[in-house]
Structure 1
Amino acid sequence: MKLQCDVEVVNRMLPAFGMKSRGKGTRAVLSIGKHLDKASQRSDVYMMICTAKDRAGCKYKLKDNIEKFFTWFVEEGKATVRLKEPAVDVCLSKADAGSLKNFLSAARLADRGSGVPLSTLTPVRARDVEQPKKKLAIVSRRDYPLASSFPCSLEQLQVSYCKLSRVDMRMLSLKALRKLDLSNNHIRKLPATIGDLGCLSELVLHNNRLEAFGAALCLSTLQRTLRLLDLSQNRLRSLPAQFCLLKELVGLKLDDNELAGLPFHVGRLSKLRFLSAAHNQLAVLPNGFRRLSLENLDLFGNPFVQPNPLDHKMRLTFPLPLQELCSRAVADLRIPYGPHLIPAHLCRELDAAKTCDCGRVCVGFFVKTAVSMNLHRVSHTVVLVDDTGGTDAPVRQHFCSLSCYSEFLDNALQRGIR
């Protein structure tokens, strides 16, 4: 029975001499097995702790020698075994929870003298006591592991230039993974199980063949963890409305895709500071774009239209339908709603509700136009929009009534906008 973890052996007599333990564990391999006591010439069950500096190991007798187990945090890979003689506490941490439970069970049986088939204790190999690997970079197809698995301790993994057509499911079992870089491959589709990586804060998918970013990913734990997302140089034509649920995003790269528009509620990404969506097919920005507060913005090379406030599309009826009036009331009064209360299609319409200049909400009936906005209003640094040196871009605007639209036109004409 063996266990890899961090170990600190604390002598309980130290406080009596005014001394403290160093409070830091050392990577070690713990083994439970038989050992021949040369003094008594009897074989008994011992626990052996081997480290990189002491591969021969330090041995502690287990039978009738365990005073207490401390297992409050065993699910976090932590536990303590208190021995009677010598008076030490063996503090275990950074262990696999399942392996730790099995090890403690074996130690408990050994303490009771229960008959458990065990092998003779032997020194460990040097590689067994190495620090767990945190980073791994694979940048050629010949180095890609086919037979072996990825180290479960990885926090950063880069797999580039390996011609991967899909995400290897072995990567999705790396629960400690914080950064996953799969750039420069041939990936066409992302599995929804990427959202099960509960620590993932950086996802780099630059230069692949992605055609979609699934809504399921936006509804996963990535909402709470993802801070950097690089989807540049792919084949994306749109992003789901749920994309704006990734509210922890700080950096977003969408360059060199085929995006015809950004999500309507992109302004809800309140922590977003770096946005690049150069060389796409953006003709106009969504109204929610005004709410962003960025440090750097790059929208170069998009076919933005020249906005004209007089050029509008009207979708209004007189009087407004009852459904529209009710939807507006729900949105204006912030009444909770959901598919358990109203039909799903009404939920989707409410999720895409627009805000008029007057502050009221319109859902399915409105006047729509586009106005020019200087991008410095939303970003400290702006890359030029085109070769002429401009930093203005068209932004979609909605009005809940003709009176609001007329008032907007009057103000625009007074400012000299034609």
Structure 2
Amino acid sequence: MRLPCEVSVVSRMLPSAGLRGPGRAARALLSLGRPPGGGGGGGVWLLVSTARDRPGNKYQLKENIEQLFTKFVEEGKATIRLKEPAVDVCLSKANANLLKTFLSAVKLANSGAHEEALPLSALVPPKASEVEKPKTRMTIASRKEYPLTHNFPYSLEHLQASYCKLARVDTRMLCLKSLRKLDLSHNCIKKLPATIGDLVCLQELNLRNNHLEAFNAALCGSTLRKSLQSLDLSQNRIRALPAQFCQLQELTHLRLDDNELVRLPFKIGRLRQLRLLSAARNKLPFLPEDFAKLSLENLDLFGNPFEQPRPLVPDVQLKIPLTLLECSARAMVDFRIPHGRRVLPSHLCDDLAMSKRCPCGHACLSCFIQITVTMNLHSVAHTVVLVDNMGSTEAPALRYFCSLTCYSQFLDRHLQGLR
């Protein structure tokens, strides 16, 4: 049986001699077995091997364990206190499940019972690769460097594979459960697999300069909702982001430059943690109403073909009298009546999630009056890149009204402001 972890062997005699301990723990491989040829007095021995000392040190276990400290075993930590020599073998950064199994075997070895049932290993020096510190970063900068015959190290936390002409996301990357940053920029990826959402630790995803035409809606409902903080989709071919995109509520940095976006997510204001938004050089005619709820530090919307605000030219979608569906939907949203796909058809749930909000506070679904008004971008961001070459920091934003009365009240206030 073998256990990779970090180990520090501390002699309990050092303090009495006025000496200090060995310092930081080192990467090691612990092995349980019997010495070759049956030497060493029999019984099961513990071999501790490190990169500097691969032959390692052997410790007999039979009736030689004074105590096991397992309070923090769930965190991958434990200590084996030996009687002779008087040392503490301190383990850390071990797999919790493997550590529990290993400690159970150590207890059996100490008692001397059922030794024949223990999964023992040969007490021989391990390979150098077995005691080296796990690789956490890997950078691939060309197709020539891309690994074709061997897997990525499972310990990777940061993987960059750029300029490799990848047409899709390699499924081997999706097995890297410790991955925190994935950089696949400057490739030819056309579609994202939903299984990227299985990377539970992923915080940064860089897909800059690929051939993406859409962002998979399934990713928005995956574990990325709670982990993803930075997303770069610049220089792709994306025309719109799914409505579910706003479920990525831990996003702090979002880059969408140089795409073909004709609209931003309708409920973008739900991205409460968002601090940087860059969507320069797209095809945005206006901003969604929810944009006003953002609280940004940096905003860049340069080079979009924004339309002139037209508060006096409304798009009237009202039906008088209101339909029964519209009245019911408004009541459900206004009074926050619980609903779900087990109660209502899926399309109705989707419609309710996309309801508009009138300045009076009431909701509207498919019956409304729509206009565009001027928004000063400094009201949502501390630092704003100019929208155009004329020095403007204003952009048109949608506004909705639930009735003619509400629109008329807005019109009165607007006209009074022009006088």
TM-score by length of 1: 0.91
Task: Map 1:44-63 to 2 at 5 A.
Answer: 44-63=43-62
Question: 1:37, 1:339 → 2: CA distance?
Answer: 68
What residue number does 2:27 align with? 27
SS of match in other structure, 2:172: helix
What residue number does 1:284 align with? 286
For residue 138 of structure 1, report the CA deviation from its aligned partner.
0.5
Counterpart residue type for residue 95 of structure 1 = A
What residue number does 1:275 align with? 277
Task: Map 1:159-198 to 2 at 5 A.
Answer: 159-198=161-200
What residue number does 1:3 align with? 3
1:153 aligned onto 2:149: no
Question: 2:114, 2:64 → 1: CA distance?
Answer: 10
What residue number does 2:203 align with? 201
The match for 1:383 among 379, 382, 385 is 385
Greater Cα offset, 96-105 or 388-397: 96-105
Greater Cα offset, 329-338 or 16-25: 16-25
Q: 1:41 to 1:173 in 2, by over 3 A?
A: closer
Unaligned runs of 5+ in 2: none
CA contact (8 A) 2:239 2:259 kept: yes
Q: 1:12 to 1:336 in 2, by over 3 A?
A: farther
Question: 1:297, 1:56 → 2: CA distance?
Answer: 58
For residue 174 of structure 1, report the CA deviation from its aligned partner.
1.2
For residue 329 of structure 1, report the CA deviation from its aligned partner.
1.6
Question: 2:325, 2:12 → 1: CA distance?
Answer: 73
What residue number does 1:325 align with? 327
The match for 1:337 among 320, 336, 339 is 339
Q: 1:74 to 1:171 in 2, by over 3 A?
A: farther
Q: 1:169 to 1:78 in 2, by over 3 A?
A: farther
CA contact (8 A) 2:47 2:57 kept: yes
Task: Map 1:94-133 to 2 at 5 A.
Answer: 94-97=93-96, 99-101=98-100, 103-104=102-103, 106-108=105-107, 110-111=109-110, 112=113, 114-115=115-116, 118=120, 120-133=122-135
For residue 122 of structure 1, report the CA deviation from its aligned partner.
2.5
Counterpart residue type for residue 83 of structure 1 = L
Q: 1:59 to 1:332 in 2, by over 3 A?
A: same
Task: Map 1:208-357 to 2 at 5 A.
Answer: 208-357=210-359
CA contact (8 A) 1:36 1:44 kept: no
Q: 1:98 to 1:141 in 2, by over 3 A?
A: farther
What residue number does 2:85 align with? 86
For residue 87 of structure 1, report the CA deviation from its aligned partner.
4.3
CA contact (8 A) 1:36 1:42 kept: no
Q: 1:388 to 1:3 in 2, by over 3 A?
A: same
CA contact (8 A) 2:9 2:22 kept: no
Question: 2:128, 2:232 → 1: CA distance?
Answer: 39
Greater Cα offset, 92-101 or 370-379: 92-101
Greater Cα offset, 312-321 or 365-374: 312-321
Counterpart residue type for residue 115 of structure 2 = S
Counterpart residue type for residue 221 of structure 2 = L
What residue number does 1:410 align with? 412
For residue 68 of structure 1, report the CA deviation from its aligned partner.
5.4
Q: 1:20 to 1:337 in 2, by over 3 A?
A: farther
CA contact (8 A) 1:37 1:43 kept: no
For residue 156 of structure 1, report the CA deviation from its aligned partner.
0.7
Counterpart residue type for residue 85 of structure 1 = E
For residue 148 of structure 1, report the CA deviation from its aligned partner.
1.4
User: What is the RMSD computed on CA atoms of the aligned residues?
Assistant: 2.6
Aligned length in residues: 416
Unaligned runs of 5+ in 1: none
Counterpart residue type for residue 94 of structure 1 = K
CA contact (8 A) 1:239 1:262 kept: yes
Greater Cα offset, 143-152 or 319-328: 319-328
For residue 307 of structure 1, report the CA deviation from its aligned partner.
1.4
Deviations 1:200-237 (A, max 9, x none): 11000000111111111010111111110000011111
CA contact (8 A) 1:36 1:43 kept: no
Question: 2:227, 2:70 → 1: CA distance?
Answer: 29
SS of match in other structure, 1:415: helix
Q: 1:117 to 1:158 in 2, by over 3 A?
A: closer
Q: 1:106 to 1:253 in 2, by over 3 A?
A: same
Counterpart residue type for residue 187 of structure 1 = I
For residue 147 of structure 1, report the CA deviation from its aligned partner.
1.5
Q: 1:317 to 1:119 in 2, by over 3 A?
A: closer
SS of match in other structure, 1:8: strand
Question: 1:71, 1:272 → 2: CA distance?
Answer: 41
Q: 1:345 to 1:120 in 2, by over 3 A?
A: closer
SS of match in other structure, 2:34: strand
Counterpart residue type for residue 203 of structure 2 = S
Greater Cα offset, 11-20 or 235-244: 11-20
Question: 2:169, 2:324 → 1: CA distance?
Answer: 48
Deviations 1:109-164 (A, max 9, x none): 54435225756422334443222211111101111111111111111110000111
